[in-house]
């Protein structure tokens, strides 16, 4: 057997190879391969963790989504120099926004459906007086017409979160 054929690696084993004194060894991964696999696993685990986080506390997730929608409605009122009313319909479990010239207007125009928020079926709306609609109107300066609160509870009953809208237009979510 010649020296050339003894040290030559077969074609089907190319890829993962290291050279050692007695010939070729195919038992090891390269550092680059290991880093690539670890990087891909890290990205996949990160995405999975972010997607599963909302399922653990649906009431908190919905309270934050409602707070963001209320803040966006307030910004729209300031930008459009008109009034924007936000409504949470208890029966439909839907949050929507509509606009008009002032908070005292009788005719309102619904804002696009992209501003609407559907509540998670695992979330229970807690209300001491059981109103049918919870609403707040922001004027062109971003000031709310009244201070309002709504409580959201998980269906397990373990966590209750309060969404509060203050007269100055501030929005807060508290456990």
The tens digit of pLDDT for each residue in 112-169 reads: 876 788 888 888 887 656 667 788 889 888 888 888 888 888 887 778 888 888 888 8
pLDDT value at residue 12:
54
Domain limits for position 127:
58-174
Let me know if residue 63 belongs to a domain.
yes
Residue 111 has pLDDT above 90, yes or no: no
Domain assignment present for 167: yes
Q: For residue 41, is pLDDT > 90?
A: yes
Is the pLDDT confidence value at 51 over 60? yes
In a domain, 114, yes or no: yes
Domain assignment present for 94: yes
pLDDT reading at 27 higher than 80: no
Give the per-residue pLDDT at 55.
60
Identify whether 7 is part of a domain. no
- Hey, what long-range contacts does 147-153 have (CB within 8 A, 24 or more apart)? 150/66, 150/88, 150/125, 150/126, 151/125, 151/126, 151/127, 152/59, 152/62, 152/63, 152/66, 152/119, 152/123, 152/124, 152/125, 152/126, 153/59, 153/123, 153/124, 153/125, 153/126
Percent of the chain surpassing pLDDT 70: 79
- Residue 42's pLDDT is 92
User: Does 13 map to a domain?
Assistant: no
Count, residues in the chain: 175
CATH number, domain of 138, equals 3.55.40.10
Span 64-72, average pLDDT? 87
Closest CA to 18 of 8, 10, 27: 27
Residue 44 located in a structural domain: no
The answer to whether residue 115 sits within a structural domain is yes
Residue 40 has pLDDT above 90, yes or no: yes
What's the rounded mean pLDDT across residues 56-84? 86
Q: What's the structural domain count of the chain?
A: 1
pLDDT averaged over every residue in the chain: 80
């Amino acid at each position: 057997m010649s020296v050339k054929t003894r040290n030559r690696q077969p074609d089907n084993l190319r890829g993962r190879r290291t050279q050692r004194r007695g010939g070729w060894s195919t038992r090891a991964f390269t550092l680059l391969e290991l880093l690539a696999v670890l990087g891909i696993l890290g990205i996949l685990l990160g995405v999975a963790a972010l997607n599963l986080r909302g399922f653990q506390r649906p009431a908190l997730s919905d309270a934050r989504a409602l707070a963001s929608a209320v803040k966006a409605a307030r910004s729209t009122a300031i930008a459009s120099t008109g009034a924007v009313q936000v409504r949470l319909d208890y029966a439909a479990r839907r949050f929507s926004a509509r606009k008009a010239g002032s908070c005292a207007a009788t005719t309102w125009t619904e804002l696009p459906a992209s501003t609407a928020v559907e509540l998670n079926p695992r979330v229970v709306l807690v209300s001491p007086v059981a109103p049918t609609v919870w609403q707040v109107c922001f004027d062109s300066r971003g000031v709310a017409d009244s201070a309002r609160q709504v409580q959201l509870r998980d269906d397990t009953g373990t966590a209750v979160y309060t969404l509060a809208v203050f007269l100055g237009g501030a929005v807060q979510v508290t456990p």
